[in-house]
Structure 1
C-alpha cells in the first residue's frame, strides 16, 4: 500500500480573481509563503519517500519547504501534475471568463468539454492516475507527496470515489490543503479530503 498526500499549492497573489493556468511567473504571495511553511511543519512528522510536483513556480515554492522539513533527496518535477492547459483562458479574470460561452460549457459539461489548450478533465484524470500507479509500484508501503493544482486533485478524487468528473464542483480543494489517498492492489481509498495544515 502507498499513501499519497495530494497537496494543492499555497496561495498566489489574487488567487480566486483570475485563472493563472500555466502562465509563467505566478509565484506565492505573502499569505502563500506562510501557508507553505505551515504545510512543511504539518508534514514534518511524515516519513516521505518522495515529493513530486507540477512544474509551475507556485507548486515548487510550496514543495521546497516540505522537502526541507521531511528530508527527501529532492523535489521531482512531474508533467503529469501540471495545471490544466487552459490555453487562451490563462490570465483572464473570472469576471471576463464568465461572459465566455465556451467557459460556461467547460463548467457545465466537464465530462466531455475541452479547453482552448485542448485538454479535457478525462485527460487530466488519466495523467494523474497513471502517475500514481507508477509511484505505487515504486514506493510500496511508503508515503509520497504530490504537489499540484485544485482540478488535478479533484480529478483524482473523482476517480477514487467513482464520481463523474462533473461532480468535481461538489467538494473544495483549497490552497495549501492536503487530501490523503491510500492505494494498493485492492484499489484506492480516500482517507482525508481538503485538510487544512
Structure 2
C-alpha cells in the first residue's frame, strides 16, 4: 500500500484565540499560519506527491494553496476528513468549556463523547479512517505501493487516525500531540500500518519516500520476492527485527 502524509492545517485565527472553531465558516489562517503554509513548499520539495486530499474547510484550503500552486496540482476535497462537528460547542471559548460535564468525558473517555447537536468522536474516527484507507487503496491501485500522497485535515481527526494505526483504543488518542502544520506519516501494508512520523514540525522529509522497486532478474523475480533471503523489505508487512537501520 502507499504512504500517506497527514498534514494538520497551519495555525488559524481560532487557534490563536482559544476558540473551538469546528466547522464554523470564515476561519482562515493567521499570519503565523500563512508563513507555515508557504514553508511547506520547500519542506516537501523532495517528496513526490501522487495525490493531495483535503478537508472542505477554508483553513485547509489556504494551507495547501502555496504547495498546490508550486506543483501545479489540484486537491481532492474529502468531506469525511472535515473537522469534528462540535455542535453547540462550535465557536465557544475553550476556557468556558472546562466546567462542562462532557469535558471530562472528552479527556478521559473520548470514545463515549458525543457533542450536543454534533457528532461523536467514535464516529469521527470511523469516517476518517475509512476515508484515508479508501484514498490509500486508490493511490496504490493507480500509482503503485511506492507512491506517496498527502491529506490535509484537522488535529482531532489526525489523532484519531493515528490511534487506529498504532492499534490504540480511541480512549488513548488524547495522548497524541498534533501541532498546527505538523506532519504525521503512515505506511499501510496488507496486515498492519507502520507509523513513520508523528507531529513532525521540521526537517527533511525525503526519508519517508520508499525506494523505487528493485529491477527484475532474468527469471522475472525481484529481490523482494525472496523473503527468506534477508530482512523485511521496506514495503513488507513484517517489522524489522532489532529495529530499523534508518533511511540510507
TM-score surpassing 0.5? Answer: yes
Aligned counterparts, 1:29-178, within 5 A: 29-72=30-73, 74-140=74-140, 141=145, 142-178=147-183
User: Matched residues in 1 for 2:62 and 2:182: separation?
Assistant: 15
Q: Flag structure 2 segments of 5+ consecutive residues without an equivalent.
A: 203-248
TM-score by length of 1: 0.94
Following superposition, the deviation at residue 48 of structure 1 comes to: 0.5
Displaced runs of 4 or more, over 6 A: none
Between the two proteins, the alignment pairs up a number of residues equal to 196
Asked whether the equivalents of residues 43 and 69 of structure 1 are also in contact (C-alpha less than 8 Å), the reply is no
Q: Flag structure 1 segments of 5+ consecutive residues without an equivalent.
A: none
Q: Greater relative contact order: 1 or 2 (C-alpha under 8 angstroms, separation 6 or more)? A: 1
User: What is the SS of the residue equivalent to 1:179?
Assistant: strand
User: What is the SS of the residue equivalent to 2:13?
Assistant: coil
Following superposition, the deviation at residue 14 of structure 1 comes to: 4.5
User: Matched residues in 2 for 1:14 and 1:118: separation?
Assistant: 19
Structure with greater Cα Rg: 2
TM-score by length of 2: 0.75
CA RMSD of aligned residues (A): 1.4
User: Matched residues in 1 for 2:26 and 2:174: separation?
Assistant: 27
More strand by share: 1
Asked whether the equivalents of residues 7 and 151 of structure 2 are also in contact (C-alpha less than 8 Å), the reply is yes
User: What is the SS of the residue equivalent to 1:22?
Assistant: coil
